[in-house]
Amino acid sequence: MNREQARAFSRWSEYVAQLNKQRGQLKRAVARMSKATMARAFDAWQGQQLHKKRCLMKIIKGTQARAFAKWQDNLRLLRKAKIVFARWNQRTCYAAFNGWWLNVEEKRRQTEMCSKICKRILNRAVRNAWAQWMYCVEQSFGCTLEQVKALSDQNARLRRDNERFVRLVDSGEWGRGRVEELSEAGRLLRDERKQLEDLIRSIKDEKDGFVKDAELQAREARALKDRLVSGNFVQRNKLNVRGGSAFNSMQRVLKQDLIDSGAAARQRQMLGGAVHNVDRLAMDKVSVFADGEIQMQAVKRAPPPFARGGARRPAPPPLRAAPPPVPMPRTTAPRPASAPRDEEGENVLVEALSSLTADEVDALEDILKRGRTDAALV
């Protein structure tokens, strides 16, 4: 019974002591908080006093302090020397330990890198989503900044325009006179536009007139040229030029070939007098106009004075008078007047021409060209 009372009394006494201690701490804290300036001043004074005491002790015991500091330096240097001597004495062990330490550090670094790579691979979807989210955030942030900048610029511009309009209204310039000036300027612009439209219309009319005049002049010139060519006018700008067609030249060459080879003498009954028609040439009527245009028109060979049946041919009309025939020298013996024209011989000649090969036709064409050139030179 007394033991329990003694334990209870001792617990009560400990509780009271703890409570008094806590009350004292609370009182000191409250006092310190209420007198914070005084507490800071006391702490500063206490620190200065300690510093002064320490300095005075160093001055008083300077030799001991220097000796103690030197002893500490010597101990530090001796410890370093021992470490260096041990490394030098056991340099193989030190190299092995150093290599092992480096290997351990490298393995740890590799382990960290592998773990990071594995985490990145395992969390690829999360990483891609994060990167996409970051990109979208940056884009939206950039767009927002651009919009804010554009809106701020527009706001500043509107503010300047508003201030300018306010100054105009306050200065009285935006009055009735200004409105009249603007209306007068609009009227002048309308008048100028009407004048420009009239000018454009007149230019178009002049252009159409010029085109019509040019077409009319061209038609008149063409009609005049046709009249000069077809009518019976003074032939000052006309000239008859001797020429030859390819067929006539080919026919003359073949006939001359037959005469030279003697085939004409052997087949006189078949060919008859058709071989002697060698001097048939074509005539061209050339007209040169004042504007430089040249017009050529083929002219038929003049008919003989008497027809084959003995009757005289009618005279040509006066408006279509043909030029007189040009006498040409004959290359073969003259054809008798009574020799009739042999149609069968001409058919044979046409068949001979059609039976030529391509190379023979080319060679014959070259011969005809040379003959035409010689005739032109003559």
pLDDT in tens, 330-356: 433 444 444 444 555 555 555 666 666
The whole-number pLDDT of residue 63 equals: 81
d(CA 190, CA 195): 9
CB 277 within 8 A of CB 301: no
Closest CA to 286 of 244, 235, 337: 235
| 185-206 residue pLDDT tens | 888 888 998 899 998 988 888 8
The whole-number pLDDT of residue 277 equals: 47
CB 275 within 8 A of CB 339: no
Specify the range with the lowest mean pLDDT, choosing from 32-36, 130-134, 258-262: 258-262
Domain segments of the chain as ranges: 136-174, 175-233, 239-302+343-377
CB 280 within 8 A of CB 210: no
CB 272 within 8 A of CB 255: no
Could you report how far apart the first and last alpha carbons of the chain are, in Å? 177
d(CA 194, CA 191): 5
Closest CA to 351 of 270, 285, 237, 231: 270
Vertex 85, ends 80 and 89: CA angle to 5°?
155
Question: 219 pLDDT exceeds 70?
Answer: yes
pTM: 0.22
Mean pLDDT of 267-291: 55
d(CA 94, CA 358): 110
The two tokens of residue 104 are 């351990």
The whole-number pLDDT of residue 314 equals: 46
Question: 236 pLDDT exceeds 50?
Answer: no
| 47-93 residue pLDDT tens | 999 998 888 887 888 788 788 889 999 999 999 998 888 878 888 88
Specify the range with the lowest mean pLDDT, choosing from 30-44, 147-161, 165-179, 262-276: 262-276
Vertex 363, ends 253 and 352: CA angle to 5°?
55
Q: For residue 202, what are the β-bridge partners? A: none
Specify the range with the lowest mean pLDDT, choosing from 141-145, 170-174, 221-225, 236-240: 236-240
Go through 89-108 and write b for each residue having 16 or more CB atoms within 10 A of its CB, e for each that does not. eeeeeeeeeeeeeeeeeeee
Q: In the chain, what percentage of residues exceed pLDDT 90?
A: 7
* Arithmetic mean of pLDDT over the chain: 72
d(CA 259, CA 361): 20
